[in-house]
Copies of this chain bind each other. A is one copy, B any other.
C-alpha cells in the first residue's frame, strides 16, 4: 500500500490533552528498521530535557527507529525531574512498540517550565500505538502544532535512473520564538534512501543551513528547537557519491518549503519579507544586514502597514554592523529602486508600490557595494495579532 510516505515508515497520533482536550497532541514516527539518524538542536544555553536526551542518543549512535513528539509541555527548565520524565515517556512508548527506549528520539514543545503530565502520557500511549500506520503526514503535522495556524508538511519523490523512487517527507511546527540558529524549530524529515549516517548528517546540516537557518519571526531562539532526520533505506536505493548532491537539492527544497510555511504562519503575520542582500564584503556582513532589517520592529510594522517606509530599512542597515560605504547602497523594494547614491528616489515612486505592498510576499533587495558577500532571509511582519497572541499566550 502506498500511504504517500517514504517506504518503511508509519505515523501515529493521539490525544493526551497536555494543554487542553479536543485535539491530537502526541505524534510518533516509526521506521520498520533502524535508520541513519541525525539531529540539529537549538544553540540556546538552556536546553530542554528532550534536546539533551536526543543529543546524547545521537552522540552514542547515529541510528534510531522512532521520533516521539508531544505538544503543549516543552519540558524545558524542568531540572532532573524533567530528564526523568523524558526517559519515562520513551520507556513507556518503547515497551508498547517492542523496541529499545534508546531508539526513540524525543522532542517536546509548549510552555517552558511545566513538568510533563505522566498520567496523560499513560492514558494516551495505547491509542498512539494502536493508531500507528493510520495517520497521514497532515495528521502528524497537525498533532505537533502549538500556536500554529495550519499544519506544515512537504514531500517529494526522487527518481534516479531505473531505480525505485526515493521518497522524502517532512513536517514542522513553529510560529513564535522563531529565529533558528544552527538548528531549527521542531521538524522531522524522513527518507527511504540507503545512506551512510555521516553523509546523511552533513547533507541534513547543509539543507538546514540553506532553509530553517534563514528565517526569522521574532528573533528568539527557543530552548527546544530540534530537527530530526531519519533515512531508513527501505527503498533499496543507495545514495552516495555524485548522487548525494541530487538528494541534497531535493532535501533542501522540502526544508525550504517548510521554512517558508513557518514564516507565513509567523504569529499574527500577514507578510513574508524576502530579504536579499548582495554586494557585501563577505557573507557574514550580508547576514548581519539581512538580520538587522528582518528583525527590526520598525521595518516589520511598516510592512504590516503597507508603507514603503524605506528610511526604516536604511536605518536598520546602518546599525547592523556590516561594513559598507553609504553612498554605494541601493535599496529596491518590490522592483522599485527607492534609494541609491545616498539619496531617495522621487517621492512618487512610492505610489508605484501600492499594489505590490498589498501582497503577502514582499521582495527586498539591498546592494551594499561590490563585494562577493550575499545572504537571503525570510522574515515576517509585526502585527496587532502578534501582540494579542503573545500577551495572552498562557491564559
Contacts and interface: CB of A to CB of B under 8 A. Distances in A.
Contacts of A256: none
B297 A342 contact: no
A296 B297 CA distance: 11
Give the contact-size bracket for chain A. Answer: 35 or more
Interface in A328-365: 339, 341-344
A383 B390 CA distance: 10
A159 to B, nearest CB: 41
Contact of A319 (B74, B221, B297): B221
A219 interface: yes
Contacts of A296: 218-220
A326 interface: yes
Contact of A341 (B79, B309, B316, B343): B79
Greatest chain B CB density within 10 A among A302, A318, A395 is at: A318
A311 B219 contact: no
Contacts of A222: 315
A387 interface: yes
Contact of A112 (B81, B312, B324): B312
Contact of A324 (B45, B81, B302): B45
Given A77-B342, A78-B343, A301 B46 contact: no
A305 interface: yes
Given A113-B344, A344-B78, A390 B305 contact: yes
Contact of A223 (B44, B112, B315, B343): B315
A297 B307 CA distance: 21
B297 A219 contact: yes
A243 interface: no
Best-surrounded residue of A315, A388, A394 (most CB of chain B within 10 A): A315
A45 B280 CA distance: 14
A319 to B, nearest CB: 4
Given A176-B298, A297-B220, A309 B394 contact: yes
A319 B44 contact: yes
Nearest to A268: B387
Contact of A218 (B112, B298, B305, B386): B298
Interface in A278-305: 295-298, 301-302, 304-305
Nearest to A342: B79
Contact of A298 (B46, B79, B220, B314): B220
A282 to B, nearest CB: 16
Contact of A220 (B112, B179, B315, B390): B315
Interface string A377-390: 00000111011101
Interface string A23-47: 0000000000000000000011110
16 contacts: A44-B319, A45-B318, A46-B315, A74-B311, A78-B343, A79-B342, A79-B343, A112-B310, A113-B310, A177-B312, A221-B318, A223-B314, A297-B297, A301-B387, A301-B390, A304-B387
Closest 7 CB pairs of A and B: A112-B311, A305-B391, A301-B390, A79-B343, A44-B318, A46-B318, A221-B319
